């Protein structure tokens, strides 16, 4: 009788594999808009750029476009200026962003300050393009508010010192407006991952505050810090709207040169523009790949 009852219950129970397959099917349907979006606006355009970089105007295969990335002095200069601006804004933004995040998370500041800082960072990290360029021109331009107030109150003109908003350091300063908040948003969870037990254990063993940071905290945080700095580099390297609205074509960075090659009236070589975009994809891809690897390493330490 027991065997008959067991056989009857097994026969009446629905197959577990069928139920699991049905649940997985609904899950795949739920994420299908993401894959469709990625395919249409990321993967296919990237493949189109890669193919176009190795074609001439008639559609024939050629390596001339890619070779010009290394042989044309103007293109090499554009890449080099873009890399320097990206490195400067990433390093300076990373340092200031880490300092602000540290002050809000570990520095013992009032509790209301952290959500205020995070809210502002969430908004400021997305504030770019023409509105950001206009804001800096209205503030630090030759007739900007801060520039005028400094002349009126202190008889000091910042432009007499050689400062120029439409220059390397002017664009770097503008980029810091969204680089610093982005650093705060990404590094804050890593600071939250520092367990109090690690600090207490180091104090019990006689370690000073600086020894704790040198031998415990920084070895754990360095993958997140370096990885986030690389992400800031990629974020700055691919920016065009802010730079174009602020400096126009006066600053020869690679994104403006790419725009001129594809849509410009004087410089117009669409396939060379695709090659420029391919070079940018390679640089930002390496940077983002290193960020993902370092981020995974940091998360493994903090589990």
With beta carbons less than 8 A apart as the criterion, state whether 242 and 132 touch: yes
pLDDT value for 267: 65
Q: Is the dihedral of CA 161, 166, 171, 177 positive or negative?
A: positive
Asked if 140 and 158 touch (Cβ cutoff 8 Å), the reply is yes
Side-chain half-sphere exposure of 83, counting CA atoms within 13 A: 12
CA angle centred on 223, ends 217 and 182, rounded to 5° = 100
Closest to 250 in 3D by CA, of 70, 127, 78, 71: 78
Tell me what pLDDT residue 6 has.
Answer: 53
Q: Are 56 and 64 in contact (CB under 8 A)?
A: yes
Which residue shows structure tokens 């390397």? 168
Query: Considering the entire predicted model, what is its pTM?
Result: 0.85
Q: What is the pLDDT of residue 298?
A: 73
CATH number of 72-301: 1.10.3720.10
> Could you report the per-residue pLDDT of 178-198, keeping only the tens digit for each?
999 999 999 999 999 888 888
163 touches 136 (CB < 8 A) = no
| Cα four-point dihedral sign 254, 257, 262, 268 | negative
For residue range 19-78, list pLDDT tens digits in order.
Answer: 555 567 777 888 888 899 999 988 999 999 899 999 988 889 999 999 999 999 989 999
In SS3 terms, 5-68 reads as HHHHHHHHCCCHHHHHHHHHHHHHHHHHHHHHHHHHHHHHHHHHHHHHHCECCCCCECCHHHHH
Q: Dihedrals φ, ψ of 60, to 5°?
A: -85, 150
Question: For position 265, what pLDDT does the model report?
Answer: 57
Rounded Cα distance, 235 and 288, in Å: 9
Which residues touch 218 (CB under 8 Å, ≥6 apart)?
Answer: none
Neighbours of 92 (CB within 10 A): 18
Residue ranges for the chain with pLDDT beneath 50: 2, 8
Q: CA 253 to CA 287: how far, in whole Å?
A: 18
């Amino acid at each position: 009788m027991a065997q008959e009852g067991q056989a009857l219950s097994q026969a009446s129970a629905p197959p577990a594999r069928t139920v699991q397959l049905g649940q997985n099917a609904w899950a795949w349907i739920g994420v299908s808009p993401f894959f469709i979006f990625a395919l249409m606006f990321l993967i296919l355009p990237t493949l189109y750029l890669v193919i176009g970089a190795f074609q001439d105007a008639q559609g024939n295969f050629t390596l001339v476009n890619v070779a010009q990335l290394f042989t044309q002095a103007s293109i090499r200069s554009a890449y080099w200026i873009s890399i320097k601006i990206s490195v400067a804004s990433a390093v300076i933004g990373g340092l200031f962003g880490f300092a602000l995040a540290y002050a809000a998370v570990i520095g013992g500041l009032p509790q209301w300050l952290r959500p205020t800082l995070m809210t502002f960072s969430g908004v400021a990290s997305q504030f770019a393009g023409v509105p950001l360029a206009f804001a800096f021109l209205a503030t630090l331009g030759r007739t900007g508010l801060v520039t005028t107030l400094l002349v009126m109150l202190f008889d000091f003109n910042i432009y007499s010192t050689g400062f120029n908003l439409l220059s390397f350091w002017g664009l770097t300063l503008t980029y810091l407006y969204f680089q610093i908040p982005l650093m705060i948003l990404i590094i804050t969870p890593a600071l939250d991952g520092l367990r109090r037990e690690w600090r207490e254990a180091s104090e019990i063993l006689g370690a000073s505050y600086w020894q704790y940071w040198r031998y415990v905290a920084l070895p754990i945080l360095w993958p997140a810090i370096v990885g986030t700095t690389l992400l800031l580099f990629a974020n700055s390297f691919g920016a065009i709207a802010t730079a174009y609205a602020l400096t126009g074509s006066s600053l020869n960075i690679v994104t403006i040169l790419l725009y001129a090659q594809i849509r410009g009236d004087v410089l117009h070589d669409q396939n060379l523009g695709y090659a420029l975009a391919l070079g940018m994809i390679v640089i930002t891809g390496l940077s983002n790949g290193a960020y993902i690897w370092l981020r995974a390493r940091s998360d493994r330490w903090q589990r």
